[in-house]
Amino acid sequence: MQNIFENISQKKYFNLKGMKPLIPNYSIIAFICCLLPVAFCLSCGGPEGFKKPEDALDAGREFVRAVLDGDYTKAELFVLPEAEDRQLFERFTEHMKKRPENERLGLKSASIQINKVDELNDSVTVINYANSFEKHPADVRVVKHNGEWWVDFSYTFSGRSLEDSLK
């Protein structure tokens, strides 16, 4: 470190014109070094465009949109953090990725059609929807868990009726 300061004092680190030092001001370096960790921490908040849903309808719609778009990383952020839900979603993702490209493109360009929203209580909502590509109705159950809205993915494959979901 001492050699650097000696070289600077001897003006060995100047450009060809002898006007500007090639080593930047140390206060700028210190500012950048402090700014980088802050920027890194802010960027770790989740994928770009992800915002925690404010209600059940937002959670269900955002989940379905991410699945239709083929953004399974984003869709997984909405899946209830329980082992059964995560395992089922992983198998579902593998299945979807194997679908022909023309079907995946059709799903990506599809719109979501909400047919019915059943608010079963203050923490359970079932959304019946279809997409404009496949036009088959499906249900997605959204539950409030620890104050946040999550998609109960295992409900889709359980065969339970709406009445059973209240039990």
pLDDT tens digits, one per residue of 134-144: 999 999 999 99
SS3 content of the chain, % helix, strand, coil (to 5): 45, 20, 35
67 and 35, same domain (yes or no): no
Is 51 within the bounds of a domain? Answer: no
39 and 60, same domain (yes or no): no
Is 147 within the bounds of a domain? Answer: yes
**DSSP-assigned letters across all residues of 22-81:** SSPPHHHHHHHHHHHHHHHHHHTTSSTT----SSHHHHHHHHHHHHHHT-HHHHHTTB-S
90 and 64, same domain (yes or no): yes
19 and 84, same domain (yes or no): no
Total domains in the fold of the chain: 2
Is 50 within the bounds of a domain? Answer: no
Q: What are 65-80's pLDDT values in tens digits?
A: 999 999 999 999 999 9
Is 48 within the bounds of a domain? Answer: no
Is 85 within the bounds of a domain? Answer: yes
Q: What are 38-55's pLDDT values in tens digits?
A: 344 334 444 555 678 999
36 and 83, same domain (yes or no): no
The C-alpha atoms of residue 142 and residue 123 are separated, in whole angstroms, by 8
Q: Which domain holds residue 89?
A: 56-165
37 and 61, same domain (yes or no): no
Cβ neighbours around 158 below 10 Å, total: 14
CATH number for position 87:
3.10.450.50
pLDDT at 156: 74
25 and 60, same domain (yes or no): no
Is 155 within the bounds of a domain? Answer: yes
70 and 139, same domain (yes or no): yes
Q: What is the pLDDT along the chain (167 residues), one digit of tens a residue?
A: 555 555 555 555 545 555 555 555 555 554 454 444 434 433 444 455 567 899 999 999 999 999 999 999 999 999 999 999 999 999 999 999 999 999 999 999 999 999 999 999 999 999 999 999 999 999 999 999 999 999 999 987 765 444 443 34
On whether the CB atoms of residues 130 and 136 are closer than 8 A, the answer is yes
Question: Per the confidence metrics, is the pTM higher than 0.85?
Answer: no
Task: Tell me which DSSP letter residue 21 carries.
Answer: B
AA letter at 23: I
